[in-house]
A and B are shown apart, each in its own frame.
Chain A
C-alpha cells in the first residue's frame, strides 16, 4: 500500500501552490443568484418560475415525486416503463401528441426516471407556453393508453434495457453496482428493471400507477424563460388549478436500509468483456444531509479531470486502469459512494482494489491541500454555471433543489455551502463513511475467465 505521496505527486502539489499564488484568489468563483417565484396552488401543486428573456424560448418541467424506488413488488422497472406511457394518449391528446406540440414547432421534449423522482421536460419557442401548460396539465389529470400501444412501448423499453445493459461491455457491471449495493431498501432494484419483470407488467398496473402517484399534490411545475409573470400565473391557475387532488393518501417508501456490518464481495461475469473491472461501494448520507457537500468535494478531488487523484495514480502513474472513477450517487433516503476502475490490459482487479483503497486511506490520513480544495470547488461551481447557461438547465437546478432536497432556496444557498466546505470536513466524512465494514466489492470480468470459486452469494440482500 502506498502511504506516502510519491515524488511526482509531491512535485505536483508544490507546483499547484505556485500556480495558486500566481492567479489571485481562485476560490472566489462567484455565481449569479437565481431569482424565482414560489407558490402552491390550492390543489397542492408547487409552482416555481423564473424569468429569463435572453432567448425567445421557455423551459417547462413537471417533476413527480415517484421514482424507481416506488416500483410495485415484482415489477422492477415499472416507474420507468410508466414514464414512456405518459407520452401516449390522454383525455384530450392522441398518442405522441406531445411531440407534435414540441418537436414539430422546433422544441424538444424528454423525460427521465430516477430512483426518487420522475421528470418530464420541454423547451419550446415561448409563444407556445400556454399550449404546453395545457398539455402537461392534461396528462397529469388523465391517461388513455390501449393494450396495443402498451405492448409496443414495452418492447421499446426492453430494447432500451438491451442497449444499456446487455450490449455495452460494461452494461452488466453498472447494473450489478445498482443491484447489489442495497440489502433491503427498494434502491436494490435497478430502475431499468429486467425483461421478466417488464413482461409481467399489465395495462391495469399503468392505470393504477397514474391514479396513485400522478396528482397535483405530488408534483412540482417549473417554468423558466421568456414569459410574462402575470400571464403565466393566469394560465397555470386555469389549466393546473382544475386538476383535482384525490383524497387518497400517497404511499411512501419507509423501509430503512440496515447498516452494513461486514465487507461483502461479489463476482460478476459477462460475455464480450475485454478488460476486467472493479467497483467499491459504500453507503453514505442522504442527499439532503449536511455531509453531502463534503462528499461532493471528495468525489471531485478523487475523479474530476486528469489532475484528479484517481486518474493521476491509477491511470497515469501506475497505469493499472484504463479508466478510474468515483461517484457520489446521493439519493433521497441514503447515498451510495462508488469508486471503480476499468483495468488496463494485463492488470488484475486486486491491483486496482489496492490502489483505490490506498487513495481512500490518503484522504482519511491527511487533509487535502488548500489548492486541491480550491480546484474542486472551482470545478464544481463552474459546472453549475455551465448548467445554468440555459433556461432548461436553470429549471433542472431549481427543480432538484425543491424536489430532491426539499428546499428551493438551496438552488442558491447550496453553492455557498459548497464554498464553505473545509479540508477538515472532507477528512471527517472520509473517516465516517469509508470503513472496511461498509464496503461492497464487485469484480467483473469476461465469462470465460470466471474464477471457479465465487466468493459472493450473488443474490440480493434480504428485505420484504
Chain B
C-alpha cells in the first residue's frame, strides 16, 4: 500500500544485490532447440572466488553479546539491537503486545519525545526502526559511518529508557487498528493471518503478530511496561554492528553506550524459553474466507515446517528453493506455463520452534481452485520423484547467489548475522553456507518433501470471492469451511465469531 509506483516490472520479487562465485554451469546448446543458423552463447570464464567477511564477537560484563562485522566498501553502518523474544510471548488474550511494545520504543524516552527521536536520527540522514517478529524484538539504525556514535546513543536510549506514555500508547493503538482494517481487506495479507491460525491453532505462533481488533483494545500500559522490564535486559539481547567500522571500535562504542545497562538480579523468565509451541497434527483444514468483490483470490497452502536449528535446515531450504523463485516449480507451473498468476512462491519460515511452510499465489477468483490443486500437486511431486541434477544445480545456485547478494549491503550483512545470533548458531555458518547448500542431495530433498513438509498434512486457505471458486473446490475437498468475512474471528482457532455458530 505504501508505495506509489508508476513502473511495472516483470517480476514482483525485487532481489537484493551482489553474488558469490559459483561452480560454472555452461549453458548447453541443447536448451536452444538449435536450427542451423543459431549461435550458442559464449561460455563463462573461470569463476573468481569471494571472501565472506568474518564476524568478531565479545560479551560485555552485563551479559550483552556484541557482534561486529567489517565491510568498508561504502561509508555506511547498520546496527541492530535484538531482544530474543517477540510475538511468541504474547499472552493469549493480548495478541500484538510484543509488537506494540517494540513499536513504542521510538515513541519517547526519559529524555527524548517521539518527535525528537525522529528529528534527531533523521537529521543525521539516518533511519530508525523498531518492531517485533516471532522470537525477536528489534530496534535498528542505518547511518553514514561518521554519524554512527550519535545514532547509537539514540538506539541505546530507546531500547533502555522508553517511557510508554499513555498518549503515545493510544496513538499507536489507533494506528494499529487502522492499519489492521486495511490488512483485513487485502486478500494476500489476510490469507497469511488465517494460515497462522490454521497451522498453529491456539499455540504461540497462531495469533496475528500485530494483534486483532479485540486484543489491541485490551492491551494496557501495565502489560507493556511489564513485558519490557521482563524481557528487555542485556543478558537477553544481542547487538550487531556491521559495515564501515573496525571491530575494535565497534566494541568500544558498544561498551560506551550499553556497558552500564544493568542486568536484573532476577533470572531470565521461563517464558523466554518456551518449549514446543506447535499443536499436535490434526486433520487438515480447507478454509475459505469469503470476501465479496475481492479483486483476486489469495490461495495459500500452509503447514508446520521446521525450526531454524533443525539439523534438516539446509535440506529444507534447498527443497524450498526447488519450489520457489522465478524459475522455481510453482512459478513454472502457475505463471510461466499457465498464466494464472503474476507470481507463485513458497517460504520455509524457520523460527525458534517449528515455523510454517507456506506456498501461495494470487489469481483471478475463478482460478482459485485450480491454483490450490497446482500448489498441492507440486509439493506432492517433489516427494514422489527425485529432482534431476540439471534442475538441482541451478536451484542451489539461486540460493548461494542470493545469499551472496544479501551480504553486499550493510543491512543485509547485519540481518544475516543477527539471525544466526538469535538462534544461538555458530557465526561461522556464514562462511560455510555455500558448502552446506552444495552437500544437499536429490534423495535428501525427496525425503524432506515427503516427511517434514508432507503435503498430506497441508492445509488450504483461500481468501476471495467464494462464489467464483467454491463449486470446483468442493469437488476437490469434502471438508471446505466457508467463513464470511464479517464472521471471521482471528482470536481463535475456529476462526468464527461465536455468534455465527448459533
Interface positions of A (Cβ within 8 A of B): 8, 12, 15-16, 19-20, 23, 26, 29, 32, 54-57, 80, 83-84, 87, 91-94, 96-97, 99-101, 103-115, 123-131, 134-135, 138, 151-156, 158-160, 162-171, 174, 177-178, 190-192, 226, 271-275, 304-308, 311-312, 315-316, 319, 322-323, 325, 327, 329, 338, 340, 342, 344-345, 371, 374-375, 378-379, 381-382, 385-386, 388-393, 447
Q: Is B124 an interface residue (CB 8 A)?
A: yes
CA distance A312 to B298 in the complex (A): 35
Chain A residue nearest in CB terms to B434:
A106
Chain A residue nearest in CB terms to B19:
A57
Which chain B residues numbered 12 to 64 have a C-beta less than 8 Å away from chain A? 12, 14-15, 17-22, 24-25, 27, 31-33, 37-50
Q: Is B142 an interface residue (CB 8 A)?
A: yes
The answer to whether B122 touches A305 (Cβ under 8 A) is yes
Distance in Å from the Cβ of A343 to the closest Cβ of chain B? 8
B-side contacts of A135, CB under 8 Å = 41
The answer to whether A345 touches B177 (Cβ under 8 A) is yes
Distance in Å from the Cβ of A111 to the closest Cβ of chain B? 5
Distance in Å from the Cβ of B335 to the closest Cβ of chain A? 6
The answer to whether B27 touches A26 (Cβ under 8 A) is no
B-side contacts of A307, CB under 8 Å = 115, 118-119, 122-123
A-B contact pairs, 8 of them (CB 8 A): A105-B24, A106-B400, A125-B20, A127-B47, A152-B339, A165-B295, A167-B362, A374-B123
The answer to whether B119 touches A16 (Cβ under 8 A) is yes
Q: Is B280 an interface residue (CB 8 A)?
A: no
A-side contacts of B46, CB under 8 Å = 127
CB within 8 Å for A226 and B126 given contacts A124-B19, A156-B342, A393-B17: no
The answer to whether B32 touches A390 (Cβ under 8 A) is no
Chain A residue nearest in CB terms to B407:
A55
Chain A residue nearest in CB terms to B184:
A274
The answer to whether A112 touches B144 (Cβ under 8 A) is no
B-side contacts of A316, CB under 8 Å = 114-115, 171
B-side contacts of A104, CB under 8 Å = 25, 27, 327, 393-394, 397-398
B-side contacts of A226, CB under 8 Å = 48
Q: Which of A29, A56, A80, A271 contacts B21, CB < 8 Å?
A: A56
Stretch at the interface among B68-76, B204-212, B257-265, B467-475: B68-76
The answer to whether A105 touches B397 (Cβ under 8 A) is yes
The answer to whether B337 touches A97 (Cβ under 8 A) is no
The answer to whether B404 touches A106 (Cβ under 8 A) is yes
CA distance A106 to B437 in the complex (A): 13
A-side contacts of B9, CB under 8 Å = 110-113
Q: Is B319 an interface residue (CB 8 A)?
A: no
| 15 additional contacts (CB under 8 A) given A94-B31, A127-B46, A342-B182 | A29-B125, A104-B327, A106-B402, A123-B17, A125-B401, A131-B43, A152-B336, A159-B340, A271-B294, A275-B178, A306-B106, A306-B114, A323-B2, A345-B177, A345-B178
The answer to whether A113 touches B181 (Cβ under 8 A) is no
CA distance A94 to B408 in the complex (A): 32
Distance in Å from the Cβ of B21 to the closest Cβ of chain A? 5
CA distance A155 to B371 in the complex (A): 14
Instruction: Please give the number of chain B residues whose Cβ is less than 8 angstroms from any Cβ of chain A in the complex.
Output: 107
Q: Which of A92, A151, A159, A167 contacts B187, CB < 8 Å?
A: A167
CB within 8 Å for A105 and B118 given contacts A125-B47, A191-B8: no
Distance in Å from the Cβ of B5 to the closest Cβ of chain A? 8
Q: Is B270 an interface residue (CB 8 A)?
A: no
The answer to whether B18 touches A123 (Cβ under 8 A) is yes
CA distance A192 to B342 in the complex (A): 13
Distance in Å from the Cβ of B130 to the closest Cβ of chain A? 12
CA distance A84 to B8 in the complex (A): 10
The answer to whether A106 touches B174 (Cβ under 8 A) is no
Distance in Å from the Cβ of B169 to the closest Cβ of chain A? 13
Q: Is B274 an interface residue (CB 8 A)?
A: no
Distance in Å from the Cβ of B340 to the closest Cβ of chain A? 7
CB within 8 Å for A160 and B342 given contacts A105-B397, A177-B4, A378-B123: yes
CB within 8 Å for A389 and B8 given contacts A104-B394, A134-B42: no
The answer to whether B125 touches A191 (Cβ under 8 A) is no
Distance in Å from the Cβ of B321 to the closest Cβ of chain A? 11
B-side contacts of A125, CB under 8 Å = 19-22, 44, 47-48, 401
CB within 8 Å for A92 and B38 given contacts A106-B398, A110-B9: yes
Interface positions of B (Cβ within 8 A of A): 1-2, 4-12, 14-15, 17-22, 24-25, 27, 31-33, 37-50, 73-76, 106, 114-116, 118-120, 122-127, 142-144, 147, 150, 171, 174-175, 177-179, 181-182, 184-188, 291-296, 298, 325-327, 335-342, 362-364, 393-394, 397-398, 400-402, 404-405, 408-410
The answer to whether B124 touches A26 (Cβ under 8 A) is yes
Distance in Å from the Cβ of B162 to the closest Cβ of chain A? 15
The answer to whether A106 touches B20 (Cβ under 8 A) is yes
B-side contacts of A327, CB under 8 Å = 4
CA distance A109 to B325 in the complex (A): 12
The answer to whether B4 touches A325 (Cβ under 8 A) is yes
CA distance A264 to B209 in the complex (A): 42
CB within 8 Å for A127 and B24 given contacts A97-B32, A104-B397, A162-B296: yes
CA distance A338 to B3 in the complex (A): 13
The answer to whether B178 touches A322 (Cβ under 8 A) is yes
Q: Which of A12, A99, A108, A163 contacts B342, CB < 8 Å?
A: A163
Distance in Å from the Cβ of A11 to the closest Cβ of chain B? 8
The answer to whether A110 touches B14 (Cβ under 8 A) is yes
The answer to whether B295 touches A171 (Cβ under 8 A) is yes
Chain A residue nearest in CB terms to B339:
A155
CA distance A312 to B190 in the complex (A): 30
CB within 8 Å for A169 and B31 given contacts A379-B122, A390-B18: no
Q: Which of A107, A109, A271, A374 contacts B293, CB < 8 Å?
A: A271
The answer to whether B124 touches A378 (Cβ under 8 A) is yes
The answer to whether A127 touches B45 (Cβ under 8 A) is yes
CA distance A130 to B27 in the complex (A): 13
Q: Which of B48, B337, B400, B401 contacts A152, CB < 8 Å?
A: B337
